[in-house]
Chains A and B, each alone.
Chain A
Amino acid sequence: MIREITIGQYYQTDSVLHRLDPRVKLIFVILYIVSIFLYRKPLPFLLAALFLALCVGLSKVPFSYIVRGLKAVVVLMLFTAVFNLFLTPGETLVAWGGLKITKEGALIAAFMAARLVLLIISSSLMTLTTTPTQLTDAMEKLLWPLQKIHLPVHEVAMMMSIALRFIPILLEETDKIMKAQMARGADFESGNLLRRLKAMVPILVPLFISAFRRANDLAMAMEARCYQGGEGRTKMKPLRYKGADTVAYLILMVYLAAVIAVGKLT
């Protein structure tokens, strides 16, 4: 049940996107997200959607699997959409009671929802095709210059990779604890909000205890193997750009140029 959440998880398969250098994918996603927020016009937006559809196709990750991840953020999307719908001033379309929907509001709501969808699909596409280790490697490498201003880049990257690694473990643990409490007759689905919140206690207490235990074990294991920060540390699999990565950067340039051109012209 809880395992249905797919955000931040890696999907094991072999595709062009999986083989790309993680730095490429990271920069790609950041610039892609910028591109969908650049213009509020339909045409550049359509271009972005098409481009993303192409990437999804290339990734070999089943579309249904990506959509499952979207479910988790539907609430957030509805929330922003409703706010935009009702609170944007402008030309009134429908009005009842104190509430009114304006033409501008409807447009903005539609745009925001669509943007959020693209944003989430594109970022989950990155995590689905990149292992957490690769991702933090990429981050560490890209942020390395900040070492100059005494930012602990390696430590930050390490923390991120551990946090990412723990997501599926804790999800699995939650699933197990939920089942165990259900076997003891616990009910998480009925009752009012307060009752449901109270029903979470038998899950949260064991979950926190287990998280602390795991963190402690991990720290111990790292100490035992003499782990210490980034200074002088080498990589088993250093990141190196290949031909495909250069091509990917070129495609990114072309895409960005196309979006800007279409945005300026229409």
Chain B
Amino acid sequence: MSIIIDHLTHEYETGTAMAVKAISDVSLQIPDGQFVGLIGHTGSGKSSLIQHLNGLLKPTSGTVYVGGEDIFDKDYDKKKLRSRVGLVFQYPEHQLFEADVFTDVCFGPKNLGLEQKEVELRAYDALKKVGLEDDAFYVSPFDLSGGQKRRVAIAGVLAMKPEVLILDEPTAGLDPAGREEILGLIAGMQKETGMTIILVSHSMEDVANYVDRIIVMNKGSVMLDGSPKEVFSHVEQLEEAGLAAPEACYIMRDLQKAGFDLPGDVTRIEEAADAILNVFGSGV
């Protein structure tokens, strides 16, 4: 399912002294099956932008097309949209409310008006996908660990079988192992199903390792847009926007400055290690 964002502008608290333009004139095209990383400094408008994609926020001007249809059209079915575009909020574990994990995951598909059997099948499927152990299915969600809760919450959205999955900082507040786990899970799912995924993140390392394309937001506009290699070659611009390139880029740049003949477009630690070994391996 492709997404087209067409001259989207959003202003909060319009008409008061606190009016903020959170998004100004953003136009983007996201083709079907792409894995996109959306990064930007705090307050750059990432969360505001993605909330438009499933109609939770209405634009001040501009519009969004999902699968070729204008989602802000009066006649567009919002329920259909919510099942097509799944949105996992920041700290999604804060929305769990049912007495047990399984019932909570059923909430989404049940709201779509599916049969009980189908609802349960989907919930089971989703919980399996996020790798939750069977014996955790019927405990209270509040008794789980932070990482488990997060996975249950993601399953709650996956159970709606969206064609586009948007995750707002899914790794916020997790330890390195937990981050790897969640990101690996998302990347694996993307490979398997070929769904369109938009991953919002603060961490360059997170996105550099997994996504096909990076969109950098700054003060409500798109500042950079391209493959990880392209985007991370603009280190100065990233730093201006309060961001940084992955560590590997800095190491490679410093080595290049010191006179070593290394490729300039390395973004991942493993690639950097290989390139460095290549140079030093032959010399030493």
Interface residue ranges, A against B (CB under 8 Å): 3, 11-13, 62, 64-65, 176-177, 179-187, 201-202, 205-206, 209-210
9 residue pairs of the A-B complex, CB under 8 angstroms, read A176-B89, A182-B82, A183-B89, A185-B79, A186-B111, A187-B79, A202-B107, A206-B94, A209-B142
Min CB–CB distance B108 → chain A (angstroms) = 4
* Interface segment out of the listed B10-18, B188-196, B236-244, B270-278: B10-18
| Residue-wise interface mask of B (30-57) relative to A, using a CB-CB cutoff of 8 A (1 in contact, 0 not) | 0000000000000000000001001010
The 7 closest A-B CB pairs, nearest first, are A185-B111, A205-B97, A184-B108, A183-B87, A180-B95, A180-B89, A179-B56
Highest count of chain B CB atoms <10 Å: which of A62, A179, A184, A201: A184
A184 touches B160 (CB 8 A): yes
Measured CA separation A177–B15 after assembly (Å): 25
Residue of B nearest to A11 (CB): B17
Interface assignment of B23: CB less than 8 Å from any CB of chain A? no
B278 to chain A, nearest CB (A): 47
A178: nearest residue on chain B (CB-CB)?
B56
Nearest Cβ on chain A to B76's Cβ, whole angstroms: 15
Q: In the complex the two chains form, is A187's CB within 8 Å of B16's CB?
A: no
Q: With A12-B17, A183-B82, A185-B111 in contact, is A202–B97 under 8 Å at CB?
A: yes
| CB neighbours of A176 from chain B (8 A) | 89, 94
Which residue in chain A gives the minimum CB-CB distance to B110?
A: A185
Contacts A185-B108, A186-B111, A201-B97 given; indicate if A180 touches B82 (C-beta within 8 A).
no
* Closest CB in chain A relative to B163 CB, distance in Å: 15
**Is B86 part of the contact surface with A, judged by Cβ < 8 Å?**
yes
**Contacts A12-B17, A64-B15, A180-B95 supplied; 9 other A-B pairs, CB < 8 Å:** A11-B16, A12-B18, A62-B16, A176-B94, A179-B89, A183-B89, A206-B94, A206-B97, A209-B94
The answer to the question of B92 belonging to the interface, with a C-beta cut-off of 8 Å to chain A, is: yes
Question: Are B82's CB and A184's CB within 8 A?
Answer: yes
B51's nearest neighbour on chain A, judged by CB, is A179
Closest CB in chain B relative to A5 CB, distance in Å: 13
Specify which chain A residues have a CB less than 8 angstroms from the CB of B56 in the assembled complex.
Answer: 179, 182-183
Q: CA–CA, A12 to B83, complex, Å?
A: 40
CB-contacts of B94-138 with A (<8 A)? 94-97, 107-108, 111-112
Q: Which residues of B contact A11 (CB under 8 A)?
A: 16-17
For residue B156, CB closer than 8 A to chain A, the reply is: yes
Q: Chain A contacts of B111 at CB under 8 A? A: 184-187
**Nearest-Cβ distance from residue B80 to partner chain A, whole angstroms:** 10
Q: Which chain B residues border A183 with CB–CB below 8 Å? A: 54, 56, 82, 86-89, 157
